[in-house]
Structure 1
């Protein structure tokens, strides 16, 4: 297909398509003549993935490029792809305090979780602890065990969602497809949780504070 058709089918402007190609996010099309390039269905699928990472996942273009490069690198194990995807997600603007980092590490160790010191979640957790302290609400840390239990359930669901693709790659299947599954599950999974949490909060609030609303007497 020509770039105009690719633009129409993907909803992405031709200028953006050319930009993604220049930045290495989108493979170049096939030159078929002077000033003429053809694109395939694979380009359309890749473009939709790019837009999902940027528009829905909220990744900057540079971060999306790193994630896509990890997908494309056949020598990158899937664990490294996961780490790259996690690191690409938005991080605290200011580095957390050493004291909160220690508290985060102690909390993780206390739960028996196996997480390396470079896991970006430690910095995010420490940043939240700092923010609570800044507004005088360190008491909110009491909710951490409940959130951690929920995080365990979510993490297992994450792995269940990608396990088939991952096991397939380890036994000679499509490694790129498995890597893409890991990335989509990680990046879009964060936004999925935000959406579900908002809905669940309204539901929990209604059940707790308006238990008889809508029920016939």
Structure 2
């Protein structure tokens, strides 16, 4: 679905890193992209678990978030949807009014033996979106594009809260992190939004905003990329 803000708009591009461990020098993330922000890995992680786990993250348009995390080893599925509001208002038309309380979000099912929750958060903060943009992301504006984490258990909440505090002390960004820890159920978005980037690689929005993020991820975290 063509978004009104999809074409020819300036804004922050994707972030990239030269390596996955420790602090690394900034590089350009692609056409129109700003220099990367170097951030450390989280100092704590969710306790080891058996069986697949679920993570729900919001960081702007779900097309790009989905496109990045589909590339991550250990992530078994990524679903685009809405989080933070009610089932009755979980439709694209209603969410776009910014009166539902929903954020565009993704729900990941991942294998914690392959990729940890804290590693997913590192990708989220370093590549998938800009955590300093309040109620917007790149060309998209409004609360539905906010930066928010929806922990699925107390362990995730503890790790997410600690990591935001840790990153805030690094001074890695010129502006403060605005990512919020929120509660709320996740609701699957309409079929046309699922796997959008993979099904529409030539879409102008995907080419301008999301392909650079995917390229940045693959360059920054080669050991984590499929």
Q: TM-score, normalised by structure 1?
A: 0.24
The structure with higher relative contact order (CA 8 Å, sep 6+) is 2
Bigger CA radius of gyration: 1
Give the helix-richer structure, 1 or 2: 1
